[in-house]
Amino acid sequence: MDLYGTLRKQYSRLKSLYRSKRTPPLSRVRRISHVFPPKDTRLVAMTFDDGPTCAPSRPLSDTGITQLIIEAMAAYGASGTFNVIGSTSENYPDKEGKPGSFKWSGVRYDHYPRFGHDTAAGAANQGRLVETLIAQGHEISNHGYRHVAFGPERIVYGSRAHFTNSHEVTEDLARLHNLLTDDFGYTIKLARPPHYIDKIPDGFTSYDIYEQLGYQYLGASFDGGGWRASTGNFQEDVESMVEPLRKALKENPDSLSGHIIFEKDGYNMSLEAPAAFALPEKLKLLTSYDYRIVTVSELLQLSQFADVGPSSDTYEAIMFLTNMGKPVVYRDNTFRGNNAARLGEVMIWLGPQHTPQGLAKAGHKSKHARFASDVSRSKTPVSPKVLLDIAAQNGLSVPDTWKQSMQNPVPRWQAVLIAAEILS
């Protein structure tokens, strides 16, 4: 693997290690990378980044890359999630980058499908492709109008141009969102930031902006490899994209159910499109294992969270609170039911009374917890007594059966079941 590929892989490993070591914050916006496998059926989602594009499927065909993908998906009754851009034509002045390097599409900015050919890609330029995608039941997701990074990323992307504040990010995303609404009557519900860069220089993150726009964060859990540089042997490149999928399915036919595969709707770093040619083989393989390939939103209708499925007792309770606008699930889409419930979250679920007196009465010791925003950060585990006190302060009463069976501290699964019961 080339240096860029190695760096990118190591970096994403570091990031996911970092994420797994600490409990992420509660969030209404969840990063959906995979969901608990839906029952009785194998479902997988495929996401296609950086299109749509009419750029020819080099080196084997003159057919546009997106068109080729659409045809392959139709042949297997598959629906995809297309994580589209608006247009990169405003990303100038810039210099052409060197193919094979991480700056392959431009030195300061990204240009899709390639430097100097920006009108061949993006929803603003390729309206007919967007119409076809929507007409054929595919899903559209927001990948940023100009595909500009939300902030700096020094390890891999060096000194590239990026947005400097959350206002710029919101404007860019809203521009693409409104384009889809106004020109195509389509409402976007998912988004993935360019290069997965989340931190905005003014302290906000992708999650904050997505919450404003009503999005969920589109993650992925399986790399289709479409971005990697070519080896010089096209057939080998195509085969190397199918092989990891074949291996995973052979080892465990269920292993991909509920997962999201990352694909590229455009050129790789060497200005070739092996991913478009590997796709039919991947779809053939998946369908031979009885997988249905669905959009991410279809997947979410059947299963929402990473570690708890619809057949669990807590699922309905989590959905109930979530639909009330209460944050129950962590930012990484896990529920972690055996974690101790925390004072802050129980107060939010059973709120809205967050007065200092109420806090003191509920046994909260911190002198800092004077406002609701501080309450939400309180990590004190909740005992049965505290939970009952909070409920009482909010005029809610806990059924006797729960009073007798509460564990100390109260685990999240139990707190959620109690909260849902007394709020319904």
Interface with Zn ion (CB under 5 A): 49-50, 194
Give CA–CA dist 337/51, Å, rounded.
39
Q: 271: which DSSP letter?
A: S
State the nearest-atom distance from the C-beta of 198 to Zn ion, in Å: 14
Give CA–CA dist 423/139, Å, rounded.
35
Give CA–CA dist 217/31, Å, rounded.
4
Q: 165: which DSSP letter?
A: S
Give CA–CA dist 144/87, Å, rounded.
9
- The nearer residue to Zn ion, 51 or 337, going by C-beta atoms, is 51
- The nearer residue to Zn ion, 49 or 345, going by C-beta atoms, is 49
Tokens of 375: 């309450």
Tell me the helices (H) and strands (E) count for the chain, helix number first.
16, 9
Identify whether the C-beta of residue 38 lies closer than 8 Å to the C-beta of residue 290: no
Identify whether the C-beta of residue 268 lies closer than 8 Å to the C-beta of residue 228: yes
* β partners of residue 56: 64
Give CA–CA dist 271/196, Å, rounded.
21
Mapped onto helix, strand or coil, the DSSP state of residue 418 is helix
Identify whether the C-beta of residue 149 lies closer than 8 Å to the C-beta of residue 194: yes
- The nearer residue to Zn ion, 105 or 230, going by C-beta atoms, is 105
Give CA–CA dist 239/230, Å, rounded.
12
State the nearest-atom distance from the C-beta of 264 to Zn ion, in Å: 8
State the nearest-atom distance from the C-beta of 168 to Zn ion, in Å: 18
- The nearer residue to Zn ion, 264 or 364, going by C-beta atoms, is 264
State the nearest-atom distance from the C-beta of 74 to Zn ion, in Å: 24
In 3D space, the residue among 64, 207, 59 whose CA is nearest the CA of residue 122 turns out to be 64
- The nearer residue to Zn ion, 197 or 375, going by C-beta atoms, is 197
State the nearest-atom distance from the C-beta of 273 to Zn ion, in Å: 15
State the nearest-atom distance from the C-beta of 20 to Zn ion, in Å: 24
- The nearer residue to Zn ion, 49 or 237, going by C-beta atoms, is 49
- The nearer residue to Zn ion, 12 or 408, going by C-beta atoms, is 12
Cis geometry, peptide bond prior to residue 93 (ω within 30 degrees of 0): yes
State the nearest-atom distance from the C-beta of 63 to Zn ion, in Å: 22
* CA distances to 54, 91, 201, 202, 350 from 164, in Å: 32, 15, 5, 7, 38
- The nearer residue to Zn ion, 50 or 237, going by C-beta atoms, is 50
State the nearest-atom distance from the C-beta of 267 to Zn ion, in Å: 12
State the nearest-atom distance from the C-beta of 250 to Zn ion, in Å: 30
Give CA–CA dist 385/364, Å, rounded.
12
State the nearest-atom distance from the C-beta of 192 to Zn ion, in Å: 8
| Beta strand residue intervals within 92-200, DSSP E | 139-142, 190-191
- The nearer residue to Zn ion, 195 or 342, going by C-beta atoms, is 195
| Beta strand residue intervals within 221-345, DSSP E | 222-223, 259-264, 291-294
- The nearer residue to Zn ion, 88 or 216, going by C-beta atoms, is 88
